[in-house]
Amino acid sequence: MDNKPTHSLDDTLALMRDLRARCEWDAAQTHESLRPYLIEEAHELDDAIRLENDRLVREELGDLLLQVLFHSVIAEERGAFSFADVAEGLITKMKGRHPHLYGDAAKEPWERMKSKQRKSIGDGLPAGLPALHRAHRLQDRAAGVGFDWPDVNGPAEKVEEELSEVREELSRSAPSRHGTTPVMDARHYALEAELGDLLFAVVNLCRKAGVHASIALDKANAKFERRFQEIERLAKERGIDVARAGLAKLDELWDEAKRTEVSSAAPGGT
């Protein structure tokens, strides 16, 4: 039988109040001073989830909970609101999102319900939201009121259309061999706009396929980094200067890295 002591949410709240009363550092913190920690802890939890490490997930959830408690107790000290108010707001919101479970209303998509409360499609989205995530959320909101493709075929065709427009623009404003246009002229901005449309279309295809673009890109980044590190390892082992090897040799090493890679990627990956 597990004899480990159990602790409740009330215990964590009591600890936070005690720290505010007796620890100089904790007592000195404000909502503003804690902002960087909140962002850092959220990223650390995201990393733990990506690594599928339960021990780390549990630890990082605790660190994130600390931030919730910290802000709640600071607000309580100011007389603004209490942790109980936070809990009440959460319960009210979640029951409101599920009127078919906690009432007698018909089930309705969340985005459709929220659209009745928003002033505009971007209302309430954080200013610092990463671009891929913002694109996904904007498309989610549009879809919530019926502005959406019926299946993945429409978004897939849109990606092809946007890629064709990018190719057309590239033929008119070819980048330099270093990958950037020589000057930021009208052609550059036209190409930038077309590439932006292509990225937005790809995000929409991801969303419609049930994949979050930011997560897909994060995994693709990790895969590329992993494989290129193998290229670097192989090159060092064979006395090859990566910077001078040339594309043909690097492609050869890349193919070898792919063949020998040991990963947990699903079958069919590239």
| CA 220/CA 214 separation, integer angstroms | 10
Length of the chain in terms of residues written: 270
Q: What is the CA 149 to chain-centroid distance, rounded?
A: 23
CB 175 within 8 A of CB 207: no
pLDDT number for residue 147:
93
Q: Which pLDDT belongs to residue 54? A: 97
- Report, as an integer, the average pLDDT of 67-75: 97
Distances in whole angstroms, Cα of residue 201 to Cα of each of 109, 180, 207, 214:
23, 23, 10, 14
What is the per-residue pLDDT for 186? 85
Instruction: Say whether pLDDT at 60 is over 70.
Output: yes
Residues whose CB is less than 8 angstroms from the CB of residue 157 and which lie 6 or more positions away in sequence, other chains included: none
What pLDDT does 108 receive? Answer: 76
Q: pLDDT digits over 199-239, tens only? A: 999 999 999 999 999 989 988 998 999 999 999 999 999 99
Would you state the pLDDT for residue 58? 97
> Once rounded to an integer, what is the mean pLDDT over residues 244-258?
94
Residue 266: predicted pLDDT: 47
Q: How would residue 176 be classed by pLDDT, with cut points 50, 70 and 90?
A: low
What's the confidence (pLDDT) of residue 264? 41
Rounded to whole angstroms, the Cα distance separating 212 from 45 reads 18
Looking at residue 124, what is its pLDDT?
87
| Of residues 224 and 119, more confidently modeled | 224
Please give the Cα distance from 9 to 17 (Å, whole number).
13
Residue at 80: amino acid letter: A
Question: Mean pLDDT over residues 20-42, rounded?
Answer: 95
Which pLDDT belongs to residue 174? 60
Q: Quick one: pLDDT band at residue 21, thresholds 50, 70, 90?
A: very high
pTM: 0.69
Q: Where are the domains positioned within the chain?
A: 9-97, 149-211, 214-260
Please count the helices (runs of H) and the strands (runs of E) in the chain. Answer: 11, 0
pLDDT number for residue 114: 74
Nearest to 59, CA basis, from 48, 68, 72: 48
pLDDT for the residue 99 = 87
Q: Which fold has domain 9-97?
A: Helix Hairpins (1.10.287)
Q: How far apart are CA 228 and CA 225, in angstroms?
A: 5
Greater confidence (62 vs 176) lies with: 62
